[in-house]
Every structure is written in structure tokens, then in C-alpha cells.
Structure 1
Amino acid sequence: MRLIAEDLACRRSGRRIFAGLSFTLEAGEALTVTGRNGAGKSSLLAILAGRLRPEAGRLAAEGVGERTIPECLHVVGHRDGLKGALTAEENLAFARDLLGDADLEPRAALARLGLAHAAGLPVAYLSAGQRRRVALARLLVCRRPLWLLDEPTAALDVASQAALAGLMRAHLAGGGLVVAATHQALGLENARDLSVEGFRAGRAELAADPFAEIV
């Protein structure tokens, strides 16, 4: 898969967040999206995921046949998107059955993130870090070339961060792509950096809004 973004612009709540943002991501490459809070990191990921329409610009994917970009990706956002009444294993089985293209079995995916012992526990009983690892395990149960990760290390301890870095490196080695919005290093030595600060637009408009920096 090859992902192409050309001159993307984003407007939210009547204000332009960024404009003129372009990049190309080849198979096996990772892109870390950086910038202060409110600069547009999560908005860019929402555009890539198809959940937010850009004000301007073009998104395209090559090498994916007839599939659309949303059909080619996994998203791990701020919210874990898990059903608290279901066990960790049941949550992953639900994702596998819904998305298709199964890869690892749920228990094997949980084991990769050190959660084999929690497979039969309801997610509502798990700690924040454990729930985050269950959400990350969804990346492994269904095969998707593009991973969109929004602050993926949130609530993870050092060992879990290292495990996540290993998963991302393996995904990239297999020709996958990773776009991660982050405030900290992810352990990907060759990742390219995209600072959304350089594409902030409408600065006069932003300066006139007293809440511009907290949106």
C-alpha cells in the first residue's frame, strides 16, 4: 500500500486548523505526527480514517485494488472502543468476526501483549493500561496494512511500550504502514516526523479567538 496526501486543509468549529499539508507514505514506512495540543494531530488522523472530511486536498491509496482507504486500516484512538461487559477475548473475537481477514487468534494476540492471563476477564474489570493493551491487540486479529494510532502509549508502562514498539516494527517489516500522533518517542528509529505546527493556517483568525489554543 502507498498512501498519498496532497494539500490537505482542515476546518473545525468554523476555524481552519491546518492547510497545505502533504506527504507520501510508502510500504514499510512510519510517520509520527507531532505538535502541541490543539494543533490538529487527531484531526489529521480523523481525516485519514474517513471520519472527518477535509476542507480541501486529496487522499489516495495505491496498491489496494478496489478497496477504499477506510477498508485498509485500523484505528486506535483516545477511547479504547471496548465493550466492558465482554471479556478481553470476546472483544477481540467480535472485532475479528466484524472486520474479517483474520490473522492471529484472540488469545494469541493477547499473549503478544502480555495479557494471556486476562483473556477471560470482563474488560470493565481491567486497569486502564490493560484495556489499552486489549485495544492494541485488535491490530493483530485482523490484517490491515495501515495503522492509525492516536497517542498509542497512553496508560502503558515501560514494558508495554516496548511490546508495542516490537509490534509496530514487525508490521513495518511486513510492508505495513503506521501513522502515529504522539508526544513521545515510539521506539521506531527510522520513522519520519510530520509536525503539524508547520501547516497551521489562518494565524490571524486563530489569534482573534481566545480559545484557539485549547481546541
Structure 2
Amino acid sequence: MAARDLAVARGGVPLLAGLSFDVAPGSALVLTGRNGIGKTTLLRTLAGLQPPLVGEVTPGGDRIAYGAHADGMKGTLTVAENLAFWAKMHGAGDIAAALEAFQLSALRDRAAQHLSAGQRRRLGLARMLLTGRPIWLLDEPTVSLDRDSVLRFADAVRAHLGGGGIAVLASHVDLGIEAQVLELEAFRVRPGTVQGDVFAGEAVE
């Protein structure tokens, strides 16, 4: 995955500019920065859910699986039914490996609406294993997870990378995963920035 001279905005307000990076197969990139700096906006742009102000992202969205803050589950369906739905959507097979990876086997018949916050997060992450897509974009994936679940998530990411996948994660937690780190403060568009400079891919005061 690559970004070239990228500038992104939220609600029409430029947040980040001048971003360029490459993430090779088998590698991870961790996005860091203070709350509100634009990590979610950048991930949404990389996922193709909103256009950049300038610049380009490759490859396209059909190779990307995006895990947002919301877990994307239907509350009235059971854990197994939710995963079976996503498996069918992505042409995946058995959901057993996804259930086991995030310790959900004992919860397979429980409705998603009756799960705890941590269990819902684990269910949302298990969905990533069923997408079959090589690029994972994950927004604060360890929120609500206990220590054991964080370790299991890190194992799942390592397995994904070991198979030649790519992961781009916004996280404040050290996951113990070998990764590039991109601190976004250097790319923040500061108050008083001239709009023309932003569109040229330069964040200047």
C-alpha cells in the first residue's frame, strides 16, 4: 500500500497534508498522534470511503478490509450468525478458525446485543479474518480489550503479515508487533494555513 502527497479533511476542514508512505507486503504501519489529529479521517481516506483533498492511494478499496470504531454487527443475530453472514459476503468458508482466534466459540449462540463491549470488539475483529483481503485498516482495534485479547489480536495480525498481508493501525497501545510508526503531528495542518499550500501537499504555518 502506498500514499503519495496525501492531504485529508474532515467536514471540509483540512487536517493533514504532505503525507507519503509505503507499506510493503508482510509489513505493518502504526499511526500515532493526539486525539482529533485525523487518524480516523486518514484511515477512511485510505479505505476509499472519502476522497483525499489531493494525492493518491494505491491499491484500490477492493483489496482493503476496514475495521472502524463501530463493530458492524447485527445485534439480533448470534455471534455465529454474524460471522456466517460476513463469511458468505466475502466467499469465505468455515468460521471455526475466526471463532477460535478470538475466544468466541463458547459465545457462538449468544446474540450480539447481549455481548460485553470487549466481546463485541472481539467479534468485530474476528470478521477481519473472513474477508480474505490482503490489507487491513484498523482504527483503535484494542479498545475495550483485556490483556489476553490484546495478545490474541497481536497474534492474528502477525499471522496476517506472515501470509504476506499488510496492516495499517491507529493505536495508542504498544501491541508488540514489529511495525513502522508514523507520528501524524508533523503533517498536521495548523490554524492559519493557506489553503493553496494544503492543496499543494504542504502543511505550513
TM norm structure 2: 0.91
Partner residue in 1 for 2:200: none
Amino acid at match of 2:10: R
Q: Which ranges of structure 2 fall in alignment gaps of 5 or more residues?
A: 195-205
User: Residues of 2 paired with 1:93 and 1:197: CA distance?
Assistant: 40
- 1:116 & 1:51 partners in 2: Cα distance? 32
Task: Give the match for residue 75 of structure 1.
Answer: 66
Task: Please name the residue that 2:156 is paired with.
Answer: 167
Give the Cα separation in 2 of the matches to 1:123 and 1:106.
16
Root-mean-square deviation (CA, aligned residues, Å) is 1.4
Moved more, 136-145 or 159-168: 136-145
Q: Residue type of the partner of 1:113?
A: F
Aligned to 1:21: 19
Segments of 4+ moved more than 6 angstroms = none
Distance 1:75 1:134 in 2: 14
Q: Tell me, in whole angstroms, the C-alpha distance in 2 between the residues paired with 1:184 and 1:112.
A: 20
Counterpart of 1:132 in structure 2 is: 121
- Larger displacement relative to structure 2 (157-166 or 108-117): 108-117
2:108 counterpart of 1:119: yes
The one-letter amino acid of 1:45's match is L
Q: Which amino acid aligns with 2:42?
A: L
Shift of 1:136: 0.6
Deviations 1:37-95 (A, max 9, x none): 1111001100011111100001122xxxxxxx211121111100100000001101111
Maintained 8 Å contact 1:107/1:119: no
Moved more, 70-79 or 80-89: 70-79
User: Which of 127, 134, 137 matches 1:145?
Assistant: 134
Matched position secondary structure for 1:141: coil
Q: Amino acid of the residue matched to residue 194 of structure 1?
A: L
Identity of counterpart residues, as a percentage? 45
Residues of 2 paired with 1:163 and 1:12: CA distance? 33
Structure 2 contact 26–165 (Cα < 8 Å) conserved: yes
For the residue of structure 1 that corresponds to 2:136, the secondary structure is strand
Provide the TM-score with structure 1 as the length reference.
0.87
Q: Which residue of 1 aligns with 2:198?
A: none
Q: Contact 2:90–2:132 (CA<8 Å) still a contact in 1?
A: no
2:23 aligned partner, one-letter code: L
Q: Distance in 2 between matches of 1:137 and 1:99?
A: 13
What is the distance in 1 between the residues matched to 2:97 and 2:56?
38
Cα shift readout 1:162-203 (whole Å, capped 9, x = no counterpart): 000000001101100000001111120x20001111101243
Q: Which residue of 2 aligns with 1:178?
A: 167
Q: How far apart are the structure 2 equivalents of 1:60 and 1:146? A: 11
Aligned to 1:199: 187
Which residue is 2:83 aligned to? 92
Aligned residue number for residue 35 of structure 1: 33
Distance 1:110 1:195 in 2: 34
- CA-to-aligned-CA distance 1:107-150 (integer Å, 9 cap, x gap): 33111111100001110111110011011111112311000100
Pair 1:109-2:107 in alignment: no
Report the secondary structure of 2:181's partner residue.
Answer: strand
Q: Following TM superposition, by how much is the alpha carbon of 1:205 offset from its aligned partner in structure 2, in angstroms?
A: 5.0
2:55 counterpart SS class: strand
Contact 2:26 2:162 in 1 (8 A): yes
